[in-house]
Amino acid sequence: MRVREIAIVLPNDRKVKAIYPKEGYGVMVFLEPSSIDKDFEANVWVPSAEELEQIKKALDKSDDLTHKLLGHGWEGKRPFWKLEDFV
């Protein structure tokens, strides 16, 4: 598999039933088949350092957009707070 697109989406805009149905943005990585899939007879993704960095930047941006949407930070697997949350 190879990365076709890394997108930041608001799940409600795409009619996606999220596992955690709360307000907020998410990162979706759209993949497309490549020749390595045939070699291994499976869907295989060999991420490059650049792709991983792009995904991390997209996650950071989605956290910022979600904070703006909610007006506050949150706890969880990927907690996110801004100084303004404590003032």
pLDDT per position as a tens digit, 16-64: 666 655 678 989 999 999 999 999 999 999 999 999 999 999 999 999 9
**This model's pTM is above 0.85:** no
Domain of residue 45, residue span = 2-86
- pLDDT bin (cut points 50, 70, 90) of residue 81 is very high
Beta-bridge partner residues of 8: 27
Using alpha carbons, select from 71, 69, 77 the residue that is nearest to residue 13. 69
Which residue in 51, 84, 57 sits closest to 70, CA to CA? 84
Strands annotated E in 10-74: 26-32
Cβ-proximal residues to 73 (8 Å cutoff; 6+ apart), any chain: 67, 79, 80, 81, 82, 85
CA 53 to chain centre: 12
pLDDT of 86 strictly over 80: yes
If one counts the domains in the chain, the total is 1
